[in-house]
Amino acid sequence: MKSLESRYLERLSELYPTIADASTEIINLEAILNLPKGTEHFLTDIHGEYEAFSHVLKNGSGAVKRKIDDVFGNTLSRQDKQSLATLIYYPAEKMNRILEQEENPEDWYKITLYRLIAVCRRASSKYTRSKVRKALPKEFAYVMEELLTEQADRTDKESYYDAIIQSIIGVGRARQFIIALSELIQRLTIDHLHIVGDIYDRGPGPHMIMDKLMDYHSLDIQWGNHDILWMGAAAGHMGCIANVIRICARYGNLDILEDGYGINLLPLATFSINTYGNDPCHCFRLKDSNTHDPSETELNQKMHKAISIIQFKIEGQLSRSNPDFYLNDRNLLHRIHYSHGTLQLDGREYKLLDTNFPTVDPENPYLLTSQEAEIMNRLQRAFINCEKLQRHMKFLISKGSLYKVYNNNLLYHGCVPLNQDGTFREVEIYGKKYKGKALFDVLDNYVRKGFQSINEEERERGRNIMWYIWHNENSPLFGKDKMATFERYFLADEETHKEIKNPYYRFLEQESVVDRILKEFGLNPSEAHIINGHVPVRSKDGESPVKCGGKLLVIDGGFSKAYQKETGIAGYTLIYNSYGLILAAHEPFESTEAAIEKESDIHSDNQMIQWVPVRKCVGDTDTGRDLKEKIADLKRLLEAYYNGTITEKFTG
């Protein structure tokens, strides 16, 4: 019987059937190892803010501007550079405005094409010609390849390239060519995108963000707690569905469900009006909503209350049927003294801000009424059968995970649950105990089972785990002792609203703890970093996103408008290029229209977190490690050819 290595080399010889084929591939791969590493872009806590997200994606957190500066230095004015950058971000829209006022469009086309080609050549310089060729739009692939591979010292071809440019303008294709070049620059400026959690909730456009991500050339996603919630809802989990609808109602974003995903909320709206018609629902005012229509706001508040009460009932049932989740202390409906309008909590009696509970049976407070049960059954079917939602969630499953180790960086959204002394907290999941990396792995596995398992019991466990991850104190994506949703709605005493963070957040500056986490995930603490989001960094209060001497970076700075009053900025993003790590702190994004008309880019303050004295190459990355392994295999194949173990396969 042939050894495993012999069988592997024979399979490899089918791909590289001759000594020449194997040798050529080794030469190609070793050359790639010496190219500069591609630029990585890190974003987190986008929370449905589509316009700001789209703009940051287009400008690469300042990476496009850096390319323009590299090419033109002091030969272009600051204003001309900004105009060129805006054109690259929004080529079609910006051209419309420019050409309305341009007296000589042909000259403008010519100058602009030469500038864009120069920037594009710079952006493509760190890639192989093969990789650039694959990124070229089919319509202009040949012409673009010719222009991008022009040699500056080849004066004998100058007239040839001038003729190409003139021809593009002459046949009326300059506009389309400029758009294609601009999109190619965006594509080549960022090699890989990391989304470190929370695409969903609060903002109005998560479905549009998902559409954009599905078209992106290379990315990975670390699930956030809000993403997991939507995944659970798509899997049909009643607790997750109720939470998703409640949060959409709270932020005045029910349009996401109705228009974005086509989920019919009319039965819930009708029930809300009939049940809470005379109730002002003051405790359920909308948060940071763009809704200005009083009647729409009133309906939203009634729906907000209706789904909240339904949620509390469903969660009461779920926590009782899953006692090992230890969430029974979060069930508060049975602690209400309905005739007195008070709540017993932690040995104290509190006056409720709202005492109208027409659907709650004091004798059986967690029982849904027949109407509530019918509404939830219809909503469950709608979520499960929504083709667009299912497509988005399958994409999250395929591209996502609870954590990622990539190029010596550890990425996760929330925290690693710790004990008070900084050691890993042991957590019980379905009768077995896990901690550290093992906890992440088992939870990740159950999330996938919630969608994919053919065993119905395991599938149900997976769905329940998504609800667990959403709000359990031992969840890596929640990281607080409780979710005080009920208290925030019904109790005036803000002490009851407090949610105590996991000890992890006290140890962010303690090197021994951070090093322990890095080692747990197989990384060398002297070289690696942790990148996570979830908890907004209050920049206005002097808090820094850079923790533990740069070993840990918390890059949630308030992408969501709902947080910008607390943080003082509009989010952090991170760039990791061949020169090091660059942290960008962004000011609020005005609008796409302002970005085009006024050329008002998002102003960013950049901070170099780590500078490398020797520029990093592909050989220093995970891709480089894989290429080195492939080179080693090919060298073994060559040796087999040379010693006659494997025969070359000539096809004639």
pLDDT, average across residues 464-489: 96
pLDDT at position 306 is: 98
Residue 608: pLDDT above 70? no
Find the angle CA(565)-CA(571)-CA(573) to the nearest 5 degrees.
Answer: 170
Are 491 and 497 in contact, with CB atoms under 8 Å apart?
A: yes
Q: Which helix (H) or strand (E) holds 302?
A: helix 294-321
- Residue 577 CA to residue 283 CA, distance in Å, equals 48
- Residue 291 CA to residue 445 CA, distance in Å, equals 40
Per-residue burial over 81-96, b if 16 or more Cβ lie within 10 Å, else e, is bbbbbbbbbbbebbbe
Same structural domain, 321 and 459:
yes
pLDDT, average across residues 622-632: 96
In a domain, 73, yes or no: yes
Residue 37: pLDDT above 90? yes
To the nearest whole percent, how much of the chain has pLDDT over 90? Answer: 73
Same structural domain, 168 and 80:
yes
One-letter amino acid identity for 218? S
Total number of residues shown for the chain: 652
Same structural domain, 539 and 393:
no
Same structural domain, 605 and 465:
no
Sheet holding 604-611, edge to edge: 400-401, 219-222, 192-195, 40-43, 572-577, 580-586, 604-611
Reading the block at residue 118, the tokens are 């120069």
One-letter amino acid identity for 195? I
Per-residue burial over 152-190, b if 16 or more Cβ lie within 10 Å, else e, is eeeeeeeeeeeebbeebbeeebbbebbbbbbbbbbbbbb
Cβ-Cβ contacts under 8 Å for 76 (sequence gap 6 or more): 68, 84
- Alpha helices by DSSP H, listed for 472-501, are 485-490
Residue 558: pLDDT above 90? no
Reading the block at residue 607, the tokens are 């901070």
Are 236 and 380 in contact, with CB atoms under 8 Å apart?
A: yes
DSSP states along 78-112: HHHHHHHHHHHHSHHHHHHHHHHH-S-HHHHHHHH
pLDDT at position 556 is: 77
* The most confident of 95-109, 183-197, 568-582, by mean pLDDT: 183-197
Residue 568: pLDDT above 90? no
In a domain, 513, yes or no: no
pLDDT, average across residues 415-420: 97
In a domain, 633, yes or no: yes
pLDDT at position 564 is: 62
pLDDT, average across residues 636-644: 93
Q: What is the pLDDT of residues 153-204, one digit of tens each?
A: 556 667 888 888 889 998 999 999 999 999 999 999 999 999 999 999 999 9
Mean pLDDT (the chain) is: 91
Same structural domain, 366 and 474:
yes
Are 179 and 91 in contact, with CB atoms under 8 Å apart?
A: yes
Same structural domain, 442 and 313:
yes
In a domain, 405, yes or no: no
Torsion angle of C-alpha atoms 244, 247, 253, 258, degrees rounded to 10: 20
Same structural domain, 31 and 100:
no
Reading the block at residue 582, the tokens are 């660059």
Residue 636: pLDDT above 90? yes
Same structural domain, 186 and 271:
no
Long-range contacts of 90-94 (CB under 8 A, 24+ apart): 90/58, 90/592, 90/595, 90/596, 91/178, 91/179, 91/181, 91/182, 91/183, 92/175, 92/179, 93/596, 94/596
Same structural domain, 548 and 575:
yes
In a domain, 182, yes or no: yes
Range in 64-73, 117-126, 592-601 with the lowest mean pLDDT:
592-601
Residue 569: pLDDT above 60? no
DSSP states along 321-374: H-GGG--GGG--GGGEETTTTEEEETTEEEE-S----TT-BTTBTTPPPHHHHH
Pairing assessment for the beta strands 342-345 and 572-577 based on DSSP bridges: unpaired
pLDDT, average across residues 540-547: 78
- Residue 372 CA to residue 379 CA, distance in Å, equals 11
pLDDT at position 535 is: 76
Cite the beta strand spans of 375-523 per DSSP E. 400-401, 403-406, 409-412, 427-429, 432-434
Query: Structurally, how many domains does the chain consist of?
Result: 3
Helices 158-170 & 174-189 angle (0-180, nearest 10): 120
Reading the block at residue 624, the tokens are 């480089």
Reading the block at residue 555, the tokens are 């890059």
pLDDT at position 303 is: 97
* CA-closest candidate to residue 496, choices 483, 506, 511: 483
Which domain covers residue 17, as residue numbers? 4-35+628-642
In this structure, what DSSP letter does residue 184 have? H
- Residue 434 CA to residue 440 CA, distance in Å, equals 9
pLDDT, average across residues 480-501: 95
Same structural domain, 490 and 469:
yes
In a domain, 505, yes or no: no
In a domain, 647, yes or no: no
pLDDT at position 160 is: 82
One-letter amino acid identity for 66? R
Q: How far from 50 is each of 199, 209, 560, CA to CA, in Å?
A: 9, 6, 10
Are 621 and 37 in contact, with CB atoms under 8 Å apart?
A: yes
Are 441 and 433 in contact, with CB atoms under 8 Å apart?
A: no
Residue 629: pLDDT above 80? yes
Cβ-Cβ contacts under 8 Å for 277 (sequence gap 6 or more): 302
In a domain, 652, yes or no: no
Q: How far apart are the first and last CA of the chain?
A: 31
Residue 652: pLDDT above 60? no
Residue 107: pLDDT above 80? yes
Same structural domain, 285 and 347:
yes
pLDDT bin (cut points 50, 70, 90) of residue 100 is confident
* The most confident of 438-442, 542-546, 594-598, by mean pLDDT: 438-442
Same structural domain, 463 and 550:
no
pLDDT, average across residues 623-647: 94
pLDDT at position 321 is: 95
pLDDT at position 588 is: 66
Range in 37-41, 50-54, 554-558 with the lowest mean pLDDT:
554-558
- Residue 432 CA to residue 571 CA, distance in Å, equals 39
Cβ-Cβ contacts under 8 Å for 317 (sequence gap 6 or more): 366
Residue 293: pLDDT above 60? yes
- The dihedral through the CA atoms of 237, 239, 242, 244 has a sign that is negative
Has this prediction a pTM greater than 0.85?
A: yes
- Residue 46 CA to residue 161 CA, distance in Å, equals 43
Considering only residues 597 and 321, tell me which one the structure prediction assigns the higher pLDDT: 321
